[in-house]
Structure 1
Amino acid sequence: MKKQNLILGVIVLLILVGVGFILKPQGGKIPGQSDFFNENLGFEESNAGNDNLNLTEDNFYQEEQETEMENNQKQASWSSPPPQIIDPNQDYLAVLTTSVGQITIDLLEKKTPMTVNNFVFLANEDFYKGVIFHRVIEGFMIQGGCPRGDGTGGPGYQFPDEPFEGQYTRGTVAMANAGPNTNGSQFFIMHQDYQLASDYVIFGQVVEGMEIVDKIASSPVKTSPNGEASLPVDPVTITNIEIITR
């Protein structure tokens, strides 16, 4: 009887040891959410804040990384501004197709060739497809071109201001920025004449479709997170931009 109890005790002990081995994680650590988020954070930080202003073709390439947009689309980004792709001897038009109609812009390739070149490049790359007019102020302007839809995004690079002429009159198209030499992808269209400091490079003029600009500018808005009454209730989307030469 004692022998049977001894054998039974040994069997129970072996079972307990085996269970303990199975439950012990390999390496003494269980991978969790914190590891996953830390890896993502490191990846995002390593690709943020690129301010390379070099315009040479040698330093131009498309990042393999894509940024997830709020509307579940993916937006490409680049590490530096594009090389020159426009022909200054041609006249360029941009036809913006939006969810409420078309706006045709005469691009000023002879006056601001670098800025027009950037816009044409992004349009040809379908960068603006699915992007909204995220900031709307009736009597002032409508602003779009942010891939995040909140005014904080861009193409992954910045490029410098260039000399320009003109006033911010109705239908003028200019670059939005965060200060000198911080141009990217965001732009605005003037709804009405407005006195502004010459800090925003003018690169186009609406020649058709100002009624669409009026419609967007008069759409209902609510207060944005920064307290400005400019956040569209039902944002208008850019569905396509076609570049036409003549």
Structure 2
Amino acid sequence: MDGATRIDRLHQAGCLKLRFPRLLASPTREAVIVNTAGGLAGGDELDQSFEIAEGAALTVTTQACERVYRSLDVAAEVSTRLRIAPGARLAYLPQETILFDGGRIDRRLDVDAAAGSGFLLCESVILGRTAMGESVCEGLLRDRWRVRIDGRLVFADELRFAGEIARHVAQRASLNGGRAFATILLADLEGTAPLGALRDTLGEGGGASRVGGVVVARLVASDGLGLRRRLVPALSLLAQDALPRLWSS
């Protein structure tokens, strides 16, 4: 009616809650995921899904960085499913995940987008907070992405650091000693994304390519602060709307 995005159906249970800040003069709805448990530990299971209807626009973020605490054996599991209808836009921009030494997390992101929709996705990880003197020697980090447009697989990604994480990330073919990294994915079927400007913004330690109708960007930094200083401008360049206010708090 007035071009605004509204909630059609909402279900929440357990430790996961959704909050919707009031955004003045914005057609985009913002949803903030709150984990009232304060972090993830071994054996935790989180299941979240979002469906954006035709013509709607939604930005999803998190209240704070997600923390993955030390686990003796079983990994925490996180499953996220995103469905985007024709003409809809979604920006899925959770704040960084912080992995503590001995933390174990296994997560999956599945996206089913229609042709004519738009999306901007980002996941970022910090391996211990250097300002707190933390380091990650051992643990598990597994990330699986599957992104489809009109049922066609356009992006599949598998990341797995297991066991002696510090040894793995020190390798040149891995993170080359970096302690923070991010993956960005942008729908770009028309080939209009500012790829050159994105590469300039990412700078050394980053890169971007256009493949199969999407732009894929990677960024590695020495710590979380260095990552955010380049990640925020990169996301601002690609986003159709302003980044969530929580990203600047």
Q: TM-score range by the shorter chain?
A: under 0.3
Higher relative CO (CA 8 A, sep ≥ 6), structure 1 or 2? 1
Q: Identify the structure with the greater strand proportion.
A: 2
- In the superposition, the TM-score normalised over structure 1's length comes to 0.25
Larger Rg: 1
Give the structure with the higher percent helix: 1
